[in-house]
């Protein structure tokens, strides 16, 4: 890469992740090369980690989900029994991959073990499973772009997700929400707080937020542009 850049008389300006799996390496490479990007020090080496995201949002005083992460079932069994129904999902994923709403403790245990087995087969580093409160409400997408810490909302959508063909969270479409809609205003301000909590200073974010009876709550911050992960 260095040789090709030299031959083209080009210089490095930015490293942008084109998909979900490139977020960690893009951010860390950017920091190593001293480019405009996002800080990785202080535990932010992998800000796409869903457990980490919720912890930072909670620390910022914003609504976050109840959760427990582990790599063995006995560690989370009590939490799961108390939270039923609840969500069981991988720590790193996108597009609802591996996410399951479990309504019984047997179902939760089965999916937990399925995810742990699958991650180990793929050689995942520090594989674990995240058990979370099931957020009930309407799910929105709030897209942002950030430069030097200035956050601008580019679009607000509401998901049309339903059960279909054996899947619990199947995407049927997305409907634009006017930014002057009162709900959009609440979502935008909340999402901006989440982005700040994750110390995102540069780049696009594709944020999924659930509007619950208690107000907005983060589902996840995808630290890349809107699109297939």
For the stretch 86-139, pLDDT in tens is: 999 987 655 567 889 999 999 999 999 999 887 544 444 567 899 999 999 999
pLDDT score recorded for residue 121: 45
More confident residue, 124 or 49: 49
Phi, psi of 111 (to 5 degrees): -70, -35
Q: What pTM does this model have?
A: 0.84
Question: Given 3-state DSSP classes, what are the helix, strand and coil percentages for the chain, each rounded to the nearest 5?
Answer: 35, 30, 35
Question: Average pLDDT for residues 158-185, to the nearest whole number?
Answer: 87
The CA–CA distances, whole Å, from 142 to 13, 72, 75, 97, 227 equal 27, 34, 34, 20, 13
What is the token pair recorded at 41?
A: 């020090």
Cβ neighbours around 146 below 10 Å, total? 18
What per-residue confidence (pLDDT) applies to 106? 97
Indicate whether 23 pLDDT > 80. Answer: yes
């Amino acid at each position: 890469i260095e040789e090709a850049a030299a031959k083209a008389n080009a210089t490095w300006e930015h490293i942008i992740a084109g998909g979900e799996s490139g977020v960690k390496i893009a951010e860390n490479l950017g920091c190593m090369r001293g480019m405009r990007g996002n800080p990785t020090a202080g535990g932010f080496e992998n800000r796409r980690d869903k457990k980490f995201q919720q912890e930072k949002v909670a620390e910022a005083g914003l609504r976050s989900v109840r959760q427990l992460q582990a790599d063995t079932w006995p560690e989370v069994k009590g939490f799961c029994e108390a939270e039923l129904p609840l969500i069981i999902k991988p720590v790193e994923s996108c597009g609802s991959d591996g996410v399951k709403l479990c309504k019984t403790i047997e179902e939760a245990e089965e999916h937990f073990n399925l995810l742990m087995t699958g991650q180990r087969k793929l050689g995942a580093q520090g594989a674990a499973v995240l058990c979370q409160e099931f957020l009930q409400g309407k799910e929105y997408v709030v897209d942002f772009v950030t430069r030097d810490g200035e956050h601008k909302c580019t679009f607000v959508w509401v998901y049309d997700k339903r059960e279909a063909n054996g899947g619990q969270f199947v995407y049927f479409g997305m409907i634009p929400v006017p930014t002057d809609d009162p709900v959009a205003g609440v979502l935008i301000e909340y999402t901006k707080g989440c982005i700040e909590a994750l110390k995102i200073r540069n780049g696009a974010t594709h944020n999924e937020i659930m509007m619950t009876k208690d107000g907005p709550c983060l589902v996840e911050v995808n630290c890349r542009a809107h699109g297939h992960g």
